[in-house]
Structure 1
Amino acid sequence: MSDPSNPSGALPGDPRYGLSAAELEDYYRNKSPSWICKGYFRADGGLNAREAAMDVHQAYLRATEPQIRFSGPLLTEDGSAPSGAMALIDAPNRAAAQAWMDNEGYSQAGAFSEISITRWSSSMALRYNDYPRTEGWEQFVITAIDGLEAEARRAAVADAHHKYQASVMDRYVARGPMFNDEGTQMIGSMMIMEYPDREACDFFWEGEPLNYGGVFSEVTIERWRYGITLPGPTL
């Protein structure tokens, strides 16, 4: 059964841990939002544009480091080449996140054929320089979009989800819910996981109660890796 002193089911280390239902509503309403910024490279010359813009891209990341939680390239399924780029950034609203993405070096060079920006709330305090990486392991971005009955289905498996989450806590690089632009409606979840290979990541996801509980209508798993090391201090 759920712990009445911790209705969110959040784990120790999660800023939502121990909040009452009313405090949890205030937390999401008042918390400064983060954003998932993704861009996918054009098939016709996108990688060439990326290469030409690399110095500008890296300089921009260093200049905006205080607002970046994580950044790095999205990779093809076999991990042999970049397919895009993803940054998790802090910004006060959608317009500010869009401006950050528009001014990013790859965007300026016209390297992307598709861009997406989604509001996100980090459930972990870790940032790029804080995560204790496991040498030789791979990172995967799991993006899961809520289905029509997500709220009821999520509630039905909440206890199992939190227990499962606790058992794999050291494999999360980042995790948290996604929202509409205004932050008033949860629309899914996004997490970055670290595992030895894709098979291990798939095994994790198959065992996730939110997955087999039918919470999501659409799920994508993409390869990702850390980009340049940013110079900012750790938390």
Structure 2
Amino acid sequence: MPYLIETFDRDNAYDRRMELREEHLRYLETIAEKLLACGAKLSDDGETADGGIYLVDVDSRVEATALIEADPFYRGNLFREVKIQRWRKAYLNGKSYL
């Protein structure tokens, strides 16, 4: 079942994000089969990330929690907040699932 995980970086954490980025990307490769979509939330100018969105296909909230807690960004104390919520696909890539 799909879950939406939304993360919010701590204030002034851009340098920390960059320090952890390569390890984070390697981690995403290990869970790629569970990722429906994943990416950074950006400032209006598209230059600065300050959080992220993960759409994951896992069996439970417990598994979604474990997935984000294993992320180097999480382990590296980048996030000030993480929200996890069930998600229902209505449209994806212009295709209706209703």
Supply the distance in 1 between the matched residues of 2:50 and 2:21 (Cα, whole angstroms): 15
* Matching of residue 98 in structure 1 with residue 70 in structure 2: no
Match of 2:8 among 36, 40, 52: 40
Give the residue type in structure 2 aligned to 1:105: P
SS in 2 for 1:53: helix
Residue of structure 1 in register with 2:42 after alignment = 75
Give the residue type in structure 2 aligned to 1:88: L
Q: Are 2:8 and 2:51, in contact at CA under 8 Å, matched by a contact in 1?
A: yes
Supply the distance in 1 between the matched residues of 2:89 and 2:56 (Cα, whole angstroms): 10
Structure with the higher fraction of residues in strand conformation? 2
* RMSD (CA atoms): 2.0
Runs of 4+ in 1 over 3 A off after TM superposition: none
* Matching of residue 54 in structure 1 with residue 21 in structure 2: yes
Point out where structure 1 has 5 or more consecutive residues left out of the alignment: 1-32, 132-168, 177-235
Q: 1:124-177 CA distances to partner (integer Å, 9 max, x unpaired)? A: 5x6xxxx5xxxxxxxxxxxxxxxxxxxxxxxxxxxxxxxxxxxxx4xx7xx88x
> Which aligned pairs between 1:103-182 and structure 2 lie closer than 5 A?
103-124=70-91, 169=94
Q: 1:43-73 CA distances to partner (integer Å, 9 max, x unpaired)? A: 14x2122111111100111000000000110
Supply the distance in 2 between the matched residues of 1:42 and 1:93 (Cα, whole angstroms): 27
Q: TM-score scaled to structure 2, two decimals?
A: 0.87
Supply the distance in 2 between the matched residues of 1:83 and 1:97 (Cα, whole angstroms): 21
Supply the distance in 2 between the matched residues of 1:48 and 1:78 (Cα, whole angstroms): 18
Q: 1:201-232 CA distances to partner (integer Å, 9 max, x unpaired)? A: xxxxxxxxxxxxxxxxxxxxxxxxxxxxxxxx
Max Rg structure: 1
Give the residue type in structure 1 aligned to 2:15: N
SS in 1 for 2:11: coil
Point out where structure 2 has 5 or more consecutive residues left out of the alignment: none
Q: Paired residues, what number?
A: 97
Give the residue type in structure 1 aligned to 2:14: L
Q: TM-score scaled to structure 1, two decimals?
A: 0.38
Residue of structure 1 in register with 2:33 after alignment = 66
Give the residue type in structure 2 aligned to 1:100: L
SS in 2 for 1:114: strand
Percentage of pairs with the same residue: 22
Aligned-pair CA distance for 1:97: 0.3
